[in-house]
Chain A
């Protein structure tokens, strides 16, 4: 990747040149994360070789378990749905300069709120109404939870990265406290859970298609938030604040409102992920809500460069990796933490690759020196 396009310095740029130039610059944001993925796959292969395992077998199983058949695709998309939403929980605050890593807590409490609010309504409200109320409760709960981290950041200068993760531990404790205590369904013997919402109220696929509601909603949310952050006054103000809070304040932008609003949108997304986990998979709030989607979402958002639209394909990729975990575990006898370790490799290499931006001459081809 060296400088290939030498252009006469004085030539006026034509429209076509200008477009190709812009494309070339934009391609940097695809190429470098992709390169990071390839490098981390190579490093992980070397790691497997050092353990005497076959990387070919590993990636073949990854492919088959994640994307190789209709069944594995279904499994993958099922996992991608919460990942899209938890990644949005990282991506939106990142635009305003907040590093929020507490999506797991908002997911858990969102799912908990959805399951709890459903209990008195069971048999009273018809399924669509019930599900709508559950979804709203989950979003409100998530918005409140991450909004708290945003508010503390703004009013008290509390570091939001640490506070949001602390809130996650608190959220998990709150969920267990009620699920194993006051709100426990007496029929849940071995695994404490709230009263199940019942099979008739569970959310399936969109009628006439095989598309999972959670994934469709997640994708719609990603598109909406992409528009919000890149095409509206709100998004513009948020990005200015993220770039330079002092300048934003000098311009009279409502920095506090923007900060808290972004945090609340983020929390609502993660809370919604919790709702879908309850409404499509678990049917009640229980320990299975703590599945690490919130943490994988952090990596998804970083890999997508905190761009809502890019979150969708990256979430599908990581949904596939997670879905293949079981197959790899069974066939190769590797521990279940293999997926976590692979994610760690990718995360570390990805952040190291940040240093490449602006350094590769090819992407700067059009610079008039």
Chain B
């Protein structure tokens, strides 16, 4: 029994690290966008498009890292489209996000059809625990470099928001558009760039899905991770470092199902698959209308008004 428990525990830890990486990138991207005062619900579409573009590029060029770069570029373009559309007067950012969910998914499925079968080169993992001689532990702690990139990025973003001119510009734009205008900042310009950069990060998150874990391209690859990451940002109170912690938590929730499967508990597979969604919902309910939860929320954001 204890051996099984250990197996589940290792599978959970490894799963949490693997599953959390796309959450981490999407939530950092969304955090950046929301800090500038806009919400992009379309990151679900960006995630799917990023996954497809990364897989396609990796297959065609043979280099998975080229795939990651291409996914970032695709995400940048899709985010830029969101930013540009929302710069038009009277255009609602929530609605555009829903439209881009459809559009991004449509583009990905349209061009991704021929790449469902072939196997593309995947991203490597860094073996951190091979020296222990325990195959379960070694497998659990084979960590993709993107995970570390994400952690560094989270701390760098938190630092930049506090200490750099760019960070101040983004925060001012998000808190009060009139104040930003008074400082001579182009509000639409800042938001356009923040949304595009946020899209690029979400694209990288997508590349992780298709190139590392689960590690292949198919049309059921993403089911709501992009959207959950948006909810995660609210939970993390718009703080990149808390985004990282929240992403790990979500990763662990998402790893329950596969971890139990590893010791042949398949009963309630669908129930455990629903765990991350239920967790997200519970988190949103508990952090809903609590005053201190709104601390750090950009003043211009429409989503929580």
Contact = CB atoms under 8 A, between A and B. Distances in A.
Interface of A: 99, 101, 152, 155-159, 161-163, 165-167, 169-170, 173-174, 176-177, 180-181, 295, 298-299, 302, 334-338, 340-345, 347-348, 350-352, 354-355, 357-358
15 contacts: A152-B284, A158-B281, A163-B284, A166-B228, A170-B277, A174-B270, A174-B274, A177-B271, A337-B109, A340-B110, A345-B106, A348-B85, A351-B85, A351-B95, A351-B96
B182 interface: no
B3 interface: no
Interface in B274-297: 274, 277-278, 280-281, 284-285, 288-289
Contact of A344 (B88, B89, B106, B278): B106
Nearest to B231: A162
Interface of A is mostly: helix
A338 B103 contact: no
Nearest to B114: A335
Nearest to A302: B95
Given A166-B281, A340-B102, A354-B90, A173 B107 contact: no
A176 B257 CA distance: 15
Contacts of B107: 341, 344
A355 to B, nearest CB: 4
A358 B234 CA distance: 35
Contacts of A348: 81, 85, 96, 99-100, 103
Given A159-B303, A341-B110, A166 B102 contact: no
B289 to A, nearest CB: 4
B85, B230, B234, B274 — which one has the most chain A CB atoms within 10 A of its CB?
B274
A101 B98 contact: yes
B109 A335 contact: yes
B113 A337 contact: yes
A176 B112 CA distance: 26
B169 interface: no
A352 B227 contact: no
A152, A156, A348, A350 — which one has the most chain B CB atoms within 10 A of its CB?
A348
Contacts of A302: 95
Nearest to B234: A159
Contacts of A162: 41, 227, 230-231, 280, 284
Interface residues of B, number: 46
B282 to A, nearest CB: 10
Contact of A158 (B110, B224, B228, B288): B288
Contacts of A166: 224, 227-228, 231, 277, 280-281
Contact of A165 (B85, B105, B227): B227
A341 B106 contact: yes
Nearest to A355: B88
Contacts of A101: 98
B99 A180 contact: no
B261 interface: no
A351 B106 contact: no
B223 interface: yes
A248 to B, nearest CB: 15
Contacts of A345: 103, 106
A350 B85 CA distance: 11
Contact of B109 (A152, A176, A340): A340
A130 to B, nearest CB: 28
A168 B162 CA distance: 38
A99 B305 CA distance: 13
Contact of A355 (B81, B91, B268, B304): B91
B92 interface: yes
A169 B224 contact: yes
B273 interface: yes
B102 A163 contact: no
A26 B234 CA distance: 40
Given A166-B280, A169-B277, A352 B103 contact: no
Contacts of A341: 103, 106-107, 109-110
A170 B278 contact: yes
Contact of B304 (A155, A157, A340, A354): A157
B270 A173 contact: yes
Contacts of A338: 110
Contacts of A350: 99
Contacts of B273: 173
Contacts of A299: 99, 102
B185 interface: no
Contacts of A177: 268, 270-271, 274
Nearest to B274: A173
B94 interface: yes
A156 B110 contact: no
B192 to A, nearest CB: 15
Given A156-B285, A337-B112, 8 more contacts: A157-B288, A158-B284, A162-B231, A169-B277, A335-B110, A340-B109, A344-B99, A357-B90
Contacts of B289: 155-157
Contacts of A336: 109
B111 to A, nearest CB: 8
Contacts of B110: 334-335, 337-338, 340-341
B109 A352 contact: no
A295 B271 contact: no
Contact of B223 (A169, A176, A355): A169
B30 to A, nearest CB: 11
Contacts of B270: 173-174, 176-177, 180-181
Nearest to A298: B98
Given A170-B278, A341-B107, A351 B92 contact: yes
A341 B303 CA distance: 27
Nearest to A345: B103
A170 B274 contact: yes
